[in-house]
Amino acid sequence: MILTKRAYDKIEPSDGCRVLVDRFWPRGITKEELAIDYWLKAISPSNELRQWFNHKPERWTEFTQRYGKELDSLKEVYEPILKLAQDNCVTLIYAAKDRQFNNATALKQYLDQKQKKPKKA
């Protein structure tokens, strides 16, 4: 199971493996307070894409498409998350204020689609 959670939300045992998926460390929070297991900077959107999106909801659909294309070339980065999520809860941690339109939500959608695809024999 893959979940998303804001970096500033309360940590719960049900979070399972906590993975920071932002390129930058969340402001005003220490390593101890964030309590992440992994920080995958490489899985975050490119700087160009992140700046273009700028958390504008009207750009969401195109953002998810462009981000998906970037993720297509990062199989070695996202595949361990998929493997871990087969038997464990993985929570993608992000710092954005917007809980609906953020890179972790887009990443979760992408990974959920990858989990649903049948494996080739």
User: 61 is in which domain, residue-wise?
Assistant: 2-115
pLDDT mean across residues, the chain: 94
Q: Is residue 100 domain-resident? A: yes
Residue 110 has pLDDT above 70, yes or no: yes
Q: How far apart are CA 96 and CA 9, in angstroms?
A: 12
Q: Across residues 31-40, what is the average pLDDT?
A: 95
Residue 18 is predicted with a pLDDT of 97
Q: Are 35 and 10 in contact (CB under 8 A)?
A: no
Q: Are 19 and 102 spatial neighbours (Cβ–Cβ below 8 Å)?
A: no
**Total-model pTM:** 0.91
Asked if residues 91 and 3 have their Cβ atoms less than 8 Å apart, the reply is: yes
Q: Is residue 121 part of a domain?
A: no
- Band of residue 24 on the pLDDT scale cut at 50, 70, 90: very high
Q: What sign does the dihedral 60-29-77-113 (CA atoms) show? A: negative
Is the pLDDT at 48 greater than 80? The verdict is: yes
Mean local confidence (pLDDT), 11-23: 96
The C-alpha angle with vertex 63 and arms to 110 and 97, in degrees rounded to 5, equals 90
Position 120 in a domain: no
Can you give the pLDDT at residue 116? Answer: 81
Share of residues in the chain with pLDDT > 70 (%):
96
Looking at the 3D structure of the chain, how many domains does it have?
1
